[in-house]
């Protein structure tokens, strides 16, 4: 029984990565390696105004003074920044005005990924989703821009925003994640190639889900994108992000920044399904995913909600955070992180309570299998002036198999008497009682595990927009095919 | 001998002191012990003092404590009247008292007592001479220089402290009370080293108190190594009641053999800066450890509890519960770390830290950390920080209990979860009274610890305002 269960566990945990294909697209590259000239090359290529180049160079010079952080519970092989290509763009991307002009290979790629760039087609037949597709370093196509612009919403690639809305970019870029923030944020600020920009004007409720799809295609490249979302007073937007990469033996670097600004009464919901190539069963290859995501609730009664399903990447280093500056603002973090084989994840959140009556909720569900290590690292900080603030955190870990690790590093700091902070966490394997209960009713061990794991992650999955929830549930079952201890 | 280091304490000044006094320090060492000392000194020379760049010292900055300047005694002070210094007036508490003054064992001609049942207790310095094989077997095995600079420093300088040995199958008939008093009219830097061995199937109840007598500043670096044998039981009580100018770095390392049980209680009532490093190692299966802590801090007091539980063996259970009430500008830090190693199946580990803040200037940092490398485990942790429950408050007020009394009752109930776990009834009664006094702001530092409190004996009651009912 035990060995059979183990067999099933192995099968389940060894589902293959199905996005591992490579597309043959003509791509142009920046010279390999990192130097001021690489940065000038990127900036010139993108025809950027001076302030952008200055920002990049300042960030680069600061980056040179920094060292790679070592505090995370991660074993990172040294990264040689001189072997990475910092800019890769599919050729022929210029002047795409209709879908017909997009490289058919590219369209096929996105169709294969299940991402429809076709404006006529409505995903899941219910709501329409505007998609910004980023391949390697540049955004290739943004759909529904026109419909959105009727509402005054700006949704475009970051490069377009730099050209068309330089004032907005200048005002908000780096205001939440300054280039001095950390090693990878500095690197990104120096070399970021593209990303998405989203601006929701005062009082507008965005009529559709906005989505960015990131895809690394070329070999030896790093992907450095930057997302900036600004929600003005009373605005609302739900934003989704997905990512995949081909299967390669070497590690590829992905260092992104996401900044969110929510003004008075605004609400931003940011959902991620991260499925970068995790490496093979022996831990060979895979993406290094070092991401800085942070939102600021600037005005009162604003709300930022992060939901993430992390199944990919060889190494994940990611802490989507909320700065709760406005009074009565709300921060939320819902996360499911799955690690398998030799994956390593160190992920969590920071909730910085600065305003009065601010509230935050953290629900984190870690699942580790194989030889992987999965850590939750979170900070809840209630400052002296954040009177009557409230935090509730729950971070549970589920262990599948005897060789994996699950770790919890919750940091809690409370500096006033009227706030209440609660944190709880449990770590265990799948309960034998639950498994027995299912099997006794004729459900196979494999389905039972799927059922239990899905139930365990339900609290988070239900936060996802519907289009994503379906994908996330499928991903979860693929990532864990066969997991009984 | 008195060495004056009335300037900021630095690793350099201490290594110089060591080099200068090598002969004295190594005087009574056996080959094994001198090797341990030499190695520890090398470690300290390399490590120096931990600073805030280290994760486990991030929130406790010792610079101010170091800067006060201290005297260092390399030999005990002149004869003291034991009876005068060590008085215990917990009514009807029958204990065997061992006293330490400024880190040195104090005795009247009997440095090492050997009781009829084979129990040995007394000075560690004396035990090294008399029972070198016994000391060598245990000394430095769990409290070694790899822990941090302080343990290395203590091991390098270790001269005296307390040694207790309970042979196999012996159940100590009465609790042993270890009192460490700091009393000098100058600032003191002191390091004492204790070694406690509880044999297989044996039982010991140990009350360990740290007290100060006056308001003189002091810096204590105390390392206690405790070995609990197979199927043995240790009840351990650590009471800390020091003045606001004192700094205490206390490292207690428990080594639990198969099926050993530990009940440990940390009761911190006063102290300028209290740092407790509590390390529990499960060296055999089926061990069980309960570690309870309560800290009641006010003024600018700072308390830092670091609890590390190493589940190195399967089938062990551990439970940590730390609670604190913080008033005025007090600051509390709790870092729990449970490590479950790869082969430690059927581990059951719990961590809990609860805090009540009474003012907006009090601060709490809590980090209940789990590190798990095995799937067959049950681990949980919880941490809450907040104020007194408004509904409970309303319930009491509604029944005519004055606000102040209601607050006291609730705080006392909060603390009582820990205090009620004390198994020695007389001690529990006394601690309950002290906690009540502490909560009412009546327990002055000058009143000293439980053990030499000179106030007349009467239970402390909360006055319920009958006039309002």
Mean pLDDT of the region A210-217: 76
Q: What is the pLDDT of residue A70?
A: 87
The more confident residue out of B331 and A240 is: B331
Q: What is the pLDDT of residue B3?
A: 62
Q: What does the radius of gyration of chain B's CA atoms come to, in whole angstroms?
A: 22
The more confident residue out of A115 and B379 is: B379
The more confident residue out of A274 and A100 is: A274
The more confident residue out of A426 and A242 is: A426
Q: What is the pLDDT of residue A448?
A: 86
Chain A residues closer than 8 Å to B374 by CB: 399, 402
H-type alpha helices, A65-174: 104-112, 145-150, 158-164, 166-172
Answer whether residue A59 is part of any domain: yes
ipTM of this complex prediction, to 2 decimal places? 0.82
Q: What is the pLDDT of residue B444?
A: 52
- From B228's Cα to the closest Cα of chain A, the distance in A is 28
**What's the CA gap between A142 and A227, in Å, rounded?**
14
Confidence grade of residue A293 (pLDDT, cut at 50, 70, 90): very high
The residues, ordered by sequence, that sit 6+ positions from A287 with a Cβ below 8 Å of its Cβ are: A216, A245, A251, A252, A253, A254, A276, A277, A278, A312, A313, A314, A315
- pLDDT score of A33 more than 90: no
Report the residue from B379, B380, B387 with minimal CB separation from A418.
B387
Q: What is the pLDDT of residue A80?
A: 85
Mean pLDDT of the region B434-453: 59
Answer whether residue A422 is part of any domain: yes
Q: Note whether A384 contacts B378, CB cutoff 8 Å.
A: no
Mean pLDDT of the region B429-446: 72
The more confident residue out of B140 and A83 is: B140
pLDDT above 70 covers what percent of chain B?
Answer: 89
- pLDDT score of A109 more than 70: no
Q: Note whether A399 contacts B380, CB cutoff 8 Å.
A: no
Could you tell me if A348 and A442 are in contact, meaning their C-beta atoms sit under 8 angstroms apart? no
Least confidently predicted of A46-50, A117-121, B301-305:
A117-121
Q: Note whether A405 contacts B361, CB cutoff 8 Å.
A: no
**What burial letters (b/e) apply to A399-411, b meaning 16+ CB within 10 Å?**
bbbeebbbbbbbb
Could you tell me if A367 and A398 are in contact, meaning their C-beta atoms sit under 8 angstroms apart? yes
The more confident residue out of A188 and A130 is: A188
Nearest CA in chain A to B363: A415
Domains contained in chain A, number = 1
- pLDDT score of A412 more than 90: yes
Q: What is the pLDDT of residue A96?
A: 44
Mean pLDDT of the region B347-369: 92
- pLDDT score of A353 more than 80: yes
Answer whether residue A437 is part of any domain: yes
Q: Note whether B372 contacts A427, CB cutoff 8 Å.
A: yes
* Phi, psi angle pair for B269, to nearest 5°: -100, -40
> Helix, strand or coil for residue B342?
coil
- pLDDT score of A213 more than 50: yes
Report the residue from B358, B372, B380 with minimal CB separation from A417.
B358
Burial of A385 (0-12, 13-18, 19+ CB in 10 A): middle
**What's the CA gap between A350 and A411, in Å, rounded?**
9
- pLDDT score of B401 more than 70: yes
Nearest CA in chain A to B339: A407
Confidence grade of residue B261 (pLDDT, cut at 50, 70, 90): very high
Q: What is the pLDDT of residue B452?
A: 40
Confidence grade of residue B450 (pLDDT, cut at 50, 70, 90): very low
H-type alpha helices, A154-257: 158-164, 166-172, 183-191
For residue A81, what are its two tokens?
A: 């920044």
The residues, ordered by sequence, that sit 6+ positions from A89 with a Cβ below 8 Å of its Cβ are: A27, A28, A45, A136, A137, A138, A193
Strand extents, DSSP E, A276-372: 286-297, 303-310, 315-318, 321-324, 330-339, 344-347, 350-353, 359-369
* Phi, psi angle pair for A230, to nearest 5°: -120, 120
Q: What is the pLDDT of residue A121?
A: 41
- From A388's Cα to the closest Cα of chain B, the distance in A is 10
DSSP state of A260: E
Confidence grade of residue A181 (pLDDT, cut at 50, 70, 90): very high
Q: What is the pLDDT of residue A348?
A: 94
Chain A residues closer than 8 Å to B372 by CB: 397, 399, 405-407, 427
The more confident residue out of A96 and B271 is: B271
Answer whether residue A193 is part of any domain: yes
β B112-114/B120-123 pair status: antiparallel
- For testing contact with chain A, the best of B344, B375, B388 (most A CBs within 10 A): B375
Mean pLDDT of the region B204-227: 89
- pLDDT score of B439 more than 90: no
Answer whether residue A484 is part of any domain: no
What's the pLDDT tens digit per position in B77-96? Answer: 666 665 566 655 566 677 78
**What's the CA gap between A120 and A118, in Å, rounded?**
5
Answer whether residue A470 is part of any domain: yes
Residue-averaged pLDDT of chain B: 86
Q: Note whether A427 contacts B370, CB cutoff 8 Å.
A: yes
Q: What is the pLDDT of residue B167?
A: 95
- pLDDT score of B457 more than 50: no
Least confidently predicted of A143-157, B58-72, B359-373:
A143-157
Mean pLDDT of the region A225-248: 86
DSSP state of A77: P
- pLDDT score of A223 more than 90: no
Least confidently predicted of A2-6, A395-399, A407-411:
A2-6
Q: What is the pLDDT of residue B294?
A: 93
The segment with the largest mean pLDDT, out of A135-139, B7-11, B48-52, is B48-52
What are the Cα distances from residue A440, in Å, to A11, A432, B54?
Answer: 22, 12, 52
Of A342, A196, A356, A344, nearest in space to A280 by CA: A342
- pLDDT score of A359 more than 90: yes
Q: What is the pLDDT of residue A26?
A: 67
Chain A residues closer than 8 Å to B55 by CB: 71
- pLDDT score of A115 more than 60: no
Mean pLDDT of the region A403-420: 92
Chain A residues closer than 8 Å to B368 by CB: 408, 410, 423, 425
- pLDDT score of A175 more than 60: yes
What distance lies between CA A252 and its chain's CA centroid?
16
β A209-215/B363-372 pair status: unpaired
Report the residue from B55, B368, B375 with minimal CB separation from A401.
B375
Q: Note whether B372 contacts A399, CB cutoff 8 Å.
A: yes
Report the residue from A71, A421, A429 with minimal CB separation from B375.
A429
pLDDT above 90 covers what percent of chain A?
Answer: 41
Confidence grade of residue A332 (pLDDT, cut at 50, 70, 90): very high
Q: Note whether A425 contacts B55, CB cutoff 8 Å.
A: no
What's the pLDDT tens digit per position in B301-310? Answer: 999 999 999 9
Confidence grade of residue A331 (pLDDT, cut at 50, 70, 90): very high
The more confident residue out of B282 and B92 is: B282
The segment with the largest mean pLDDT, out of A110-114, A323-327, B366-370, is A323-327
The more confident residue out of B205 and A16 is: B205
- From B119's Cα to the closest Cα of chain A, the distance in A is 42
Answer whether residue A485 is part of any domain: no
Residues of A contacting chain B (CB within 8 angstroms):
71, 73, 384, 387, 397, 399-429, 485
Mean pLDDT of the region B433-437: 81
Mean pLDDT of the region B103-131: 86
Give the residue numbers spanning the domain of A422. 2-479
Could you please report the per-residue DSSP string of B1-66? -EEEE-S---HHHHHHHHHHTHHHHHTT--HHHHHHHHHHHHHHHHH-S--TTSGGGTT---HHHH
Answer whether residue A13 is part of any domain: yes
């Amino acid at each position: 029984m035990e060995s059979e269960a183990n067999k099933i566990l192995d099968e389940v945990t060894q589902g293959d990565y199905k996005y591992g294909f490579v597309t043959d697209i003509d791509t142009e590259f920046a010279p390999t390696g990192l130097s001021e000239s690489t940065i000038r090359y990127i900036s010139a290529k993108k025809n950027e105004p001076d302030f952008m180049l200055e920002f990049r160079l300042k960030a680069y010079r600061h980056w040179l003074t920094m060292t790679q952080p070592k505090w995370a519970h991660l074993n990172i092989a040294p990264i040689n920044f001189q072997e990475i290509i910092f800019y890769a763009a599919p050729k022929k991307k210029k002047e795409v005005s209709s879908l017909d002009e997009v490289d058919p290979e590219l369209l096929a790629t996105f169709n294969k990924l299940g991402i429809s760039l076709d404006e006529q087609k409505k995903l899941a037949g219910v709501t329409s989703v505007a998609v910004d597709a980023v391949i390697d370093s540049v955004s290739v196509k943004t759909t529904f821009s026109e419909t959105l612009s009727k509402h005054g919403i700006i949704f475009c690639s970051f490069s377009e925003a730099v050209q068309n809305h330089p004032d907005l970019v200048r005002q908000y870029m780096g205001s939440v994640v300054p280039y001095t923030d950390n090693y990878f944020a500095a690197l990104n600020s120096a070399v970021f190639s593209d990303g998405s920009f989203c601006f929701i004007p005062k009082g507008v409720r965005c009529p559709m889900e906005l989505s960015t799809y990131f895809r690394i295609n070329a070999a030896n490249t790093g992907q450095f994108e930057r997302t900036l979302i600004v929600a003005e007073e009373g605005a609302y937007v739900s934003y989704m992000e997905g990512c995949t990469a081909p299967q390669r033996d070497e590690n590829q670097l992905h260092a992104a920044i996401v900044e969110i600004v929510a003004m008075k009464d605004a609400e931003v919901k940011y959902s991620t399904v991260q499925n970068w190539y995790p490496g093979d069963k022996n831990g060979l290859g895979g993406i290094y995913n070092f991401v800085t995501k942070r939102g600021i609730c600037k005005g009162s009664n604003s709300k930022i909600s992060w939901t993430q399903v992390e199944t990919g990447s060889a190494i994940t280093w990611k802490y989507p955070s909320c700065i709760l500056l406005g009074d009565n603002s709300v921060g939320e973090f819902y996360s499911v992180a799955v690690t398998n084989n030799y994956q390593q994840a160190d992920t969590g959140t920071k909730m910085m309570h600065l305003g009065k009556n601010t509230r935050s909720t953290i629900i984190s569900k870690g699942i580790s299998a194989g030889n992987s290590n999965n850590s939750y690292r979170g900070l809840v900080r209630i400052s002296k002036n954040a009177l009557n603030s409230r935090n509730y955190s729950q971070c549970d870990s589920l262990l599948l198999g005897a060789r994996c690790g699950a770790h919890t590093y919750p940091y809690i700091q409370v500096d006033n008497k009227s706030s209440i902070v609660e944190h709880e966490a449990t770590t265990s394997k799948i309960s034998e009682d639950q498994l027995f209960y299912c099997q006794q009713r004729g459900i196979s061990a494999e389905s039972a595990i799927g059922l239990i794991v899905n139930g365990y992650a339900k609290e988070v999955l239900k936060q996802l927009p519907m289009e994503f929830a379906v994908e996330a549930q499928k991903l979860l079952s693929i990532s864990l095919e066969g997991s009984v201890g | 001998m008195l060495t004056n280091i009335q300037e900021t304490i630095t690793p350099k000044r201490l290594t110089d002191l060591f080099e200068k006094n090598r002969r004295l320090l190594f005087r009574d060492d056996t080959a094994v012990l001198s090797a341990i000392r030499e190695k520890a000194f090398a470690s300290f020379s390399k490590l120096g003092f931990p600073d805030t760049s280290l994760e486990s010292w991030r929130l406790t900055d010792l610079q101010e404590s170091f800067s006060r300047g201290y005297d260092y005694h390399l030999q005990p002070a002149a004869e003291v009247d034991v009876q005068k210094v060590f008085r215990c007036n917990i009514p009807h508490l029958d204990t065997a008292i061992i006293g330490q003054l400024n880190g040195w064992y104090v005795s009247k001609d009997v440095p090492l007592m050997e009781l009829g049942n084979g129990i040995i207790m007394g000075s560690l310095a004396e035990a090294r001479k008399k029972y070198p094989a016994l000391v060598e077997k245990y000394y430095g095995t769990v409290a070694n220089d790899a822990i941090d600079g302080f343990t290395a420093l203590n091991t390098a300088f270790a001269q005296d402290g307390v040694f207790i040995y309970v042979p196999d199958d012996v159940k100590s008939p009465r609790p042993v009370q270890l009192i460490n008093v700091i009393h000098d009219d100058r600032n003191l830097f002191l390091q004492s080293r204790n070694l406690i061995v509880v044999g297989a199937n044996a039982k010991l109840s140990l009350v360990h108190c740290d007290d100060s007598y006056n308001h003189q500043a002091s810096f204590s670096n105390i390392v206690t190594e405790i070995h609990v044998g197979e199927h043995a039981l240790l009840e351990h009580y650590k009471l800390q009641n020091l003045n606001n100018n004192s700094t205490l770095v206390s490292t207690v390392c428990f080594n639990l053999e198969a099926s050993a049980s530990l009940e440990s209680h940390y009761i911190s009532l006063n102290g300028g800066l209290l740092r407790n490093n509590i390390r529990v190692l499960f060296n055999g299966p089926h061990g069980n450890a309960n570690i309870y802590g309560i800290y009641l801090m006010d003024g600018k007091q700072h308390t830092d509890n670091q609890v590390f539980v190493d589940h190195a063996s399967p089938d062990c259970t551990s439970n940590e519960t730390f609670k604190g009430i913080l008033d005025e500008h007090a600051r509390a830090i709790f870092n729990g770390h449970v490590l479950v190693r790869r082969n430690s199946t059927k581990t059951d580990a719990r961590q809990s830290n609860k805090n009540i803040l009474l003012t907006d200037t009090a601060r709490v940092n809590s980090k209940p950390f789990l590190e798990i490398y095995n799937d067959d485990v049950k681990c949980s942790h919880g941490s809450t920080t907040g104020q007194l429950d408004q509904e409970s408050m309303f319930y009491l007020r509604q029944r005519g209990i004055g606000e102040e009394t209601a607050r006291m009752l609730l705080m006392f109930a909060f603390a009582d979860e820990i205090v009620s776990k004390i198994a020695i009834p007389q001690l529990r009664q006394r601690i309950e009274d002290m906690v009540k006094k502490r909560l009412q702001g009546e327990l002055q530092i000058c009143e000293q610890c439980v053990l030499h409190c000179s106030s007349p004996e009467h239970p402390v009651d909360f006055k319920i305002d009958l006039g309002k009912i």
